[in-house]
Amino acid sequence: MQAIGFWFVLMILGIVNGIMRNDVYGPAIGNELLSHQISTVTGIALFLAGMYVWLKWTNARYSKKDLLVIGVMWFGMTITFEFIFGHYIAGHPWSKLLADYNILEGRVWSLVLLTIIVGPYFVGKYILKGCTDAI
C-alpha cells in the first residue's frame, strides 16, 4: 500500500516538473523540443530523489522482485493516468499523447517511463546499497 500511495507523490512531482517546463524555463528557452528534453532530465532526477527518500524512510523491506513489481505497477499507473487524464480531461488528441513516445524525433519521455520501472530497484540496490532483503 505504501508503494501505491507514494505513486501519488511521484505524480505531484511530475505535475510540478511540467508546470516548471510550461511556465518557467520553456517560454524562456523558446524551443519546445529542448524544453521537453530538459524536463525529461529534471523529471528523472526528481523521481529518483523521491524514490530515494521513500525507500530510505519507509519501514518496509522489499525484495528485488518486490521493487521490480512496484516499478511495473507505477509504470502501469503512470501510463493509465497519462492517457486518461491527457485525453479525456486535458483534451489532448491521441496523436499528441503518442508523439512523446517517438524517440527518433527527439522525444525522450520513454526514459522517464524506464526510470519509473527500474528506479525502485536501482535506488534500493545501488544507491542505498542493498536496503532491501534478498537482493
Q: Which amino acid is at 98?
A: L
Q: Which three cell numbers stand for residue 63?
A: 525484495
Residue keyed to cell 520553456: 26
DSSP state of 43: H
For residue 27, is it left (φ>0), alpha (ψ between -120 and 50) or beta? alpha
The Cα–Cα gap between 36 and 13 comes to 16
Q: How confident is the model at residue 23 (pLDDT cuts 50, 70, 90)?
A: very high
| Contact (CB, 8 A) for 14 and 43 | yes
The per-residue pLDDT for 133 is: 58
Q: What is the pLDDT of residues 77-122, one digit of tens each?
A: 999 999 999 999 999 999 999 999 999 999 999 999 999 999 999 9
Share of the chain above pLDDT 90, in %: 87
**Nearest in space to 118 (alpha carbons), one of 17, 39, 48:** 48
pTM over 0.85: yes
Q: Which three cell numbers stand for residue 84?
A: 486518461
